[in-house]
Amino acid sequence: MSPRLTGDALRTPFTRIGITAAAFALGLSALPGMSPAANAAVVTPGDVQINEVYGGGGNSGATFKNDFVELVNTSDQDISIDGWMLHYASAAGDRIGGRLALTGTVPAGGTFLIQLAAGNGNGADLPTADLTGGLNASGTTGVFLLTNTSGELVCAGAACAEDPAVVDLVGWGSGATRFSGTAPAPGTTNATSISRVAATGENSTDFVAGAPTPAPSGGSTTDPEDPEDPEEPGQPGETREVSIAEIQGTGATSPLVGQTVTTEGVVTAVYATGGLNGYVIQTGGTGGALDFSTHTGSTAVFVYSSATASQVAIGDSVRVTGQVSEYNGSTQISVGATGLAKLDTALEPVQPATLTGGFPTEEAQRESIEHMLYLPGEGDFTVTDVYSTNTYGEVGLAIGDEPLWQAGDIMRPGAEATAYYESRADQLVLLDDGRTTNFQSNPTQPMSWLTTEEPVRVGAHPTFTEPVVVAYSFKQWRLNTTTPWESASTDGVDFENTRQDAPDEVGGDLQLATFNVLNYFTTLGADTPGCTPYTNIHGDGTNVRGGCDLRGAWDEGDLERQQSKIVDAISGTGAEVVGLTEIENSARLGETPDEATATLVAALNVKDGEGTWAYVPTAEAYAAQGLTGGQDAITNAIIYKPAAVTPVGGAQILAGDPAFDNAREPIGQVFAPLGEGADGESVQGEPFFFSINHFKSKGSADAEDAGLVADPVQGNSRTSRLQQAQALLTWGEETAAAAGVEDIFYGGDFNSYTQEDPLHLFYDQGFINVGETYDAESWSYSYGGMVGSLDHVLANPSAAERLTGATDWQINGPESVMTQYARYQNNVVDVYESGPFGSSDHDPIIVGLNAEFPAAPEEPGEPQEPGTGTDNPNKGPGNNSGTPGGQNSGNGNSNGNGPGSNNGNGNGNNGNDNPNKGPGNNSGKGKGNN
């Protein structure tokens, strides 16, 4: 989508992406439609403002060696910043840990460059800075705060924007929890910064991402790359008649920039409304099947002309006169009110381009089809990102038949994984709505693509029934609809509905599940002093934004919407034991211990029947260790069905271990399966130990990693997660041994993708990743336009012998955030629905296992002639007793339990271990071959 701001404001040619003080003097801080959103916590920028932020310094692919923050003085007087402070916090960190004392003067109408930490030495040197410091920023997401006082700044969420000492606050990237306005500024990469383009107090629209352009008070700016010398422009007033191909040339920029030209073409797209303010023309008769060995330049161009856009229609043959320019990386002609003429004789029609082999990954080939009409083929793309769809009307598409994967989910961290991570941009294209609207700032404007009738989900394959226009803006290649998006029935794109009303069968006598319930709190923000809400289109609170320890629903109505979805999801798993993460730690909040868990269980029993569900109480286990509850506002919990399993002993908690000082303590329980014997009496199966876990997140650095550049594959706090994995392994083994139990299952949100180092500690001890073993293509979470599994069930070797299957029920990971309770009535188009979809942001993982009930006594059969049973080398001497020829009769071929064994009568065959998937999962349940 280009540009981010509506109207003509961003069409003003700046010398840099960031805004200058002179531009503020021209009134850019009061752009129409850019007022701060109602009920948002806003820092109204003063005279000195944060103008640009760059956090990728020195990293792989970095533009510059150091991070930097650039300040700007928008007044006409020099301003001293002696005694001021620059603070930095990680995106979701609990505290503001870094600060730099400022000294110096920001000149009137000028900038002030603060050089920060260096990474690994990649990139160019910054221009000589006005001040240096050691703050180390994230390359993708974080928070900078500027205060006019010294000392530590203590605030959280919206409270930071309300602190009177805060002169400016900039949160950027999808993970930022502190920001000014309704949403953070766009995320960055090692090659991009965010630069200010307005000063409304709304981070999400005041900043855009682009090439970093540091400018010290001396005024010199280091350009990352020297631009190619353009050809000499024509004389003022001189007009050249050229083809569109001559305007485009065969390089990244037009050879005719700055020249006034006249050209002809067929109108293929019109954006008279929606903010793009123009239309696209393409040379008549071009398009169709393209061969990149001979096709080297585009035959289409964007006409920027708010004066004439409403005068044309798709299919018109026109002649335009205007000046050629490159805007935000896109070639265009700016045409005034008198620069359009319709041709009397129609040009030959344009054919949508078709591309053998799908959309190109090479930049030169993409450039050669810029602005051209294009009809993607079946299977050319897969939806890989819907996070910003509700904000900017963008749908991230991966080239090919699957979404983009997190590198750490499919390969071991290292050079290959890093290269894969850095190449993902080559595989990404944005499907855009032909608008510039920010739907978060303009919630009364119906958002694009998202409807209840046609959910747009990660992993779905779009079918294009109408052509699109290949476009480039804000460093992203895009496929624009040919007119501003209006409705799903007219947008020319059909998305397959990949929703699955029930999970795949996993087999077994009982099922385990793990489920992150996304901050399920029964203590409400509306009832708690200090809490501030996120609000919907009506100004009503939906969920807690900050100001207190709560993280969940704002009021009873919001809790009911959240709870009903979670209940439907848990009930729908069919599991008998479910481990929960991100549930309220009631004891920590001064409430009755396990209150939130008890409330959720009561709601489940309303749906599934009284007494169907119970929970594992934790108060006694904490009290035994001299504690009242866990260290975090969220905790773990275990719920179960008493008719299927019975707890053996009480809850076990790994409390007091310093490894979990920055995470949630594991909670475990031994269970014995329940069944009915042949005589109708209750029998118990083989007990197992199950613990639910929630490791340290990737979003902020731990003490060991503080000041280090985050690994782009494993993220922040790898050290903490390694320590937590080792502590869990030790504790789990000791706890199970003390209970006399051999079989161990660890479940939960490990905040580690499948092939990352923390999980390999478990694999090295013989544990298998059950989801990966039985469903290698599964994933439970989508972040940054890539998919992978943070949620896992791990089984030790003896537990693995009981497994029958596993599945990821994808009810949340593929969904837009707009399906969640917290986005209820967030836009005039409301896509909230009851049911399990959007009940969280993580999918539940479901595992099937055999209960291993004791074998019933066998009735003796009639004596028969000896048969010819054969010894089974895997099971010991053959014990077949049947007729000659080896036919089994009665219970003769029943084998003991073990990997892939059959326990049924008759001819049950032994399952074979699959070396690629782990233990064989055949389980004979009756007569015949299973």
Judge residue 498's burial from the number of C-beta atoms within 10 Å of its C-beta, 0-12 exposed, 13-18 middle, 19 or more buried: middle
Q: Which residue has the higher pLDDT, 214 or 857?
A: 214
Residues in the chain: 930
Looking at 244-316, which runs of residues are DSSP E strands? 260-271, 278-282, 287-290, 300-304
Output the six-digit token pair for 519: 């901050």
Task: Note the pLDDT of residue 218.
Answer: 64
DSSP letter (8 states) at residue 684:
E
> What strands, in cross-sheet order, belong to the sheet with 476-480?
287-290, 351-355, 373-374, 468-473, 476-480, 428-432, 394-399, 381-385
Burial 846-856 (b: 16+ CB within 10 A, else e): bbbbbbbbeee
**Closest-CA residue to 819 (of 835, 832, 836, 829):** 832
DSSP letter (8 states) at residue 589:
T
Looking at 736-796, which runs of residues are DSSP E strands? 743-749, 768-769, 781-783, 786-788, 791-795
State the pairing for strand pair 468-473/394-399: unpaired
Measured distance CA(465)–CA(448) in Å, rounded: 17
Q: Which residue has the higher pLDDT, 686 or 36?
A: 686
Which residues are CB-contacts of 186 (< 8 A; sequence separation ≥ 6)? 172, 173, 194, 204, 207, 208, 209
Task: Note the pLDDT of residue 880.
Answer: 38
Measured distance CA(47)–CA(71) in Å, rounded: 10
DSSP letter (8 states) at residue 311:
G
Q: Cα torsion at 707, 710, 711, 717 (round to 10°)?
A: 80
**What DSSP assignment string belongs to 146-157?**
EESS-S-----T
Task: Note the pLDDT of residue 23.
Answer: 35
DSSP letter (8 states) at residue 711:
B
Output the six-digit token pair for 661: 């000082």
Do the Cβ atoms of 375 and 353 come closer than 8 Å? yes
At 859, the pLDDT band (50, 70, 90 cuts) reads: low
Average pLDDT in the chain? 85
Measured distance CA(503)–CA(505) in Å, rounded: 6
The dihedral sign for the CA sequence 535, 538, 540, 543: negative
Mean pLDDT of 766-776: 96
Mean pLDDT of 143-152: 86
* Three-class SS state of 461: coil
Q: What is the pLDDT of residues 216-251, one digit of tens each?
A: 886 544 443 433 333 333 334 578 999 999 999 999
Phi (first) and psi of residue 738, to 5 degrees: -65, -30
Cis bond before residue 352 (omega within 30° of 0)? no
pTM over 0.85: no
Measured distance CA(69)–CA(843) in Å, rounded: 38
DSSP letter (8 states) at residue 267:
E
Judge residue 29's burial from the number of C-beta atoms within 10 Å of its C-beta, 0-12 exposed, 13-18 middle, 19 or more buried: buried
First to last CA, the chain: 55
State the pairing for strand pair 142-147/166-172: antiparallel
Which of 107-111, 332-336, 370-374, 539-543 bottoms out in mean pLDDT, i.e. has the lowest?
Answer: 107-111
Q: What is the pLDDT of residues 165-212, one digit of tens each?
A: 889 999 999 778 888 888 899 999 999 999 988 788 889 888 888 889
Rg (CA), the chain: 31
At 929, the pLDDT band (50, 70, 90 cuts) reads: very low
In the beta sheet, which residues pair with residue 651? none
Do the Cβ atoms of 56 and 62 come closer than 8 Å? yes
Phi (first) and psi of residue 806, to 5 degrees: -160, 155
Domains located in the chain, CATH noted: 9-210 (no CATH), 234-364 (2.40.50.140), 376-496 (no CATH), 510-849 (3.60.10.10)
Task: Note the pLDDT of residue 928.
Answer: 34
Which of 256-260, 575-579, 711-715 bottoms out in mean pLDDT, i.e. has the lowest?
Answer: 711-715
From its phi and psi, is residue 155 left (phi > 0), alpha (psi between -120 and 50) or beta?
Answer: beta
Task: Note the pLDDT of residue 74.
Answer: 83
Q: What is the pLDDT of residues 424-455, one digit of tens each?
A: 889 999 999 999 888 988 899 999 999 999 99
Please, what is the Cα angle at 373 between 436 and 362, to 5 degrees?
A: 90
Q: How far from 395 is each of 276, 390, 416, 477, CA to CA, in Å?
A: 18, 9, 28, 12
Asked whether the predicted pLDDT for residue 871 surpasses 60, the reply is: no
Q: How far is CA 729 from the centre of its chain?
A: 29
Q: How far is CA 390 from the centre of its chain?
A: 14
At 35, the pLDDT band (50, 70, 90 cuts) reads: very low
Q: How many other β-carbons are positioned within 10 Å of the β-carbon of residue 101?
A: 14
**What DSSP assignment string belongs to 400-420?**
SSSPPBPHHHHS-SSHHHHHH
Do the Cβ atoms of 256 and 324 come closer than 8 Å? yes
Measured distance CA(911)–CA(875) in Å, rounded: 12
